[in-house]
Amino acid sequence: MDMPQEAVLLVGGYGTRLGELAKKVPKAMLPVDGKPFLVYLLIWLKSQGIKRFVLACAHMAGEIEGYLGDGRRLGVSIVYSDAKDKQWGTAGSIKFAQDSIEGDAFFALNGDVFFENSLKDLWDFKCLKPARACIALARVADRRRYGTVLMDDDGYVKKFIEKDLAGAGGEGYINGGFYLFDRSVLDLIPALEHASL
């Protein structure tokens, strides 16, 4: 099977930690060197082979769609799943967007962070492991600001530890907000309920 060419981007959050910066602009659309952050992410993902995007929107979805349109200007295809300001959480937002997802497998990413990783490497890893879901992790020197992901020796996730419970710090793996799912994962997510990845 070929690597998926479709990605769901989670771009519906309020950006409350950004304060005034995100009051008038969706956080994924905040400018970086004159361009919305999301444009950089789309261009990078296109360079990795992604041709079709599902933007899972909620807060200020019209601002995002008004700027990006159907994606033709960037040489990609963009469709929108607009939850109309309803916050479903990361998994719930993907479930809400399921009718817009076309492939048997797809990437999913947080649309407000950049975690440089090879989609091909993640795909190759998934092809070696009998798993319906993969997550790209980042190794950090101090995990205090993040939740921690514990794995077994074969690379399977054993446990997620929330940042408030992660302890005093030290090195560890954290969630990079970068996933690869078989479509069957959507059946595991409850519809119209708040759910987190």
Residues serving a catalytic function are 163
Three-state secondary structure readout of the chain: CCCCCEEEEECCCCCHHHHHHHCCCCHHHCEECCEEHHHHHHHHHHHCCCCEEEEEECCCHHHHHHHHCCCHHHCCEEEEEECCCCCCHHHHHHHHCHHHCCCCEEEEEECCCCCCCCHHHHHHHHHHCCCCEEEEEEEECCCCCCCEEEECCCCCEEEEECHHHCCCCCCEEEEEEEEEEEHHHHHHCCCCCCCCC
